[in-house]
Amino acid sequence: MESAATGEKMFSFVHLSVQEFLAALYVLHEGVHWANPFSKNWKEKISWLFTHSRFDLYRFAVEKALQSQNGHLDLFVRFLLGLAPMLEPKIRSPLDVLLPQLAVRGESIEKTVQYIKEKIRKDISPERIINLFHCLNELGDNSLIEEINRYINSADEEKNLTPAQCSALAYLLLISTKEMNEFNLKKYLRSEEGLHRMLPVVKVSRRVWLNQCRLSKASCALMASVLQGTRSPLRELDMGDNDLQGKGVELLCVGLRDQQCKLNKLRLNRCRLSKASCEIMASVLQGTPSHLIELDMGDNDLQDEGVELLCVGLRDPQCKLETLRLSHCLITQKGCSSLASALKSNPSYLKQLDLSYNHPGDSGVRELSNRLNDPNCKLETFR
């Protein structure tokens, strides 16, 4: 058909995959007969005619795909590389009959496989790494997948995978299921690099355990991006026993406040948090709507001032919190008074309150126990 504005010929495809396949075929044909189809510089185009190899074409394509921020070249490069095994001289295929001049030597395929494996070991986007594994599969190489299969089937309950092995595992898990019920990073690689490599799996998991994984505030930014994802299935997140500190919680709360976030349970125990973190978390509890029903901030130096700030959120009618754990937080009678006041203002939701290993004193215990006797208060367990 023709463009109404310019009169130029245009092509419309029933499905995107048809367009990407034909684009791959076009680039393959141009790269063999004319010049580097990825270059806009005429000197490079002319040089390409005399010095190029099929491996160079594949390498350029992979590099272009890795530079894409949104993955718009992923399917194209998979088609391009998927055609390579079909064009080996020893393989008879319809393409070999129709376009014999496109034949590719096995040496180019082997060099491309090694090049992709080197890229997998680099620090690049986890989504692009997953696509590189799809490319290896198109080229008929599953050695990294076979290696990770042997490793995860060994007797050790907790592994210590390399970053490349983590990416291989992520690919393996993603092609085996669309949504995971639970993912535990400790089983594979306790580090921020491990989380970065496994992020595509985290994005499709309902429950994620990241506790005791040597994470810092940078990991909170990653998890905030997951919580902001459209239709994220994540409902339970444990980031306890990590050095997140106040800045980390601030970054995480960007995701918690997002309209897309549907997280129900969050654990931030032993994360070196202070009273400032309570103020940030209170803003999450006041969000519209707030889906958080369970929060653990135990074993942090919150003190009475932190509890008072947190209670600003607890008093808000938008707060639907049912379980709150604040054990080992240096809370005294003053903090208990703030909690009792919050329960009086918003008595409809909180059912379990854990203040164990604090210093409430007799008066603090008495004030909270009175809430248990209030028929309007839903509090069932206080310790």
Last residue of a domain, one of 102, 124, 146: 124
Domain that holds residue 358: 273-383
Identity of the residue numbered 371: R
What's residue 8's pLDDT?
A: 64
Q: Tokens 């070999």 belong to which residue?
A: 96
What's the CA gap between 36 and 60, in Å, rounded?
A: 9
What's residue 184's pLDDT?
A: 94
List 354's β-bridge partners, or say none: 325
On whether the CB atoms of residues 114 and 57 are closer than 8 A, the answer is no
What's the CA gap between 132 and 69, in Å, rounded?
A: 15
Q: Residue 362 domain-assigned?
A: yes
What's residue 38's pLDDT?
A: 56
Q: Residue 77 domain-assigned?
A: yes
CATH at 292: 3.80.10.10
What's the CA gap between 281 and 313, in Å, rounded?
A: 8
Domain count, the chain: 2
Cα–Cα separations (whole angstroms), residue 252 to 116, 361, 362:
33, 34, 36
Q: Residue 310 domain-assigned?
A: yes
What's the CA gap between 208 and 227, in Å, rounded?
A: 12
Q: Residue 351 domain-assigned?
A: yes
Q: Residue 107 domain-assigned?
A: yes
What DSSP letter does each residue of 212-225 carry, written as one string? TS---HHHHHHHHH
What's the CA gap between 146 and 148, in Å, rounded?
A: 6
Last residue of a domain, one of 67, 95, 124: 124
Q: Residue 245 domain-assigned?
A: no
Last residue of a domain, one of 69, 89, 124: 124
What's residue 91's pLDDT?
A: 47
Q: Residue 222 domain-assigned?
A: no
Q: Residue 86 domain-assigned?
A: yes
Identity of the residue numbered 116: I
What's residue 359's pLDDT?
A: 94
pLDDT < 70 stretches in the chain: 1-15, 30-52, 87-106, 154-159, 178
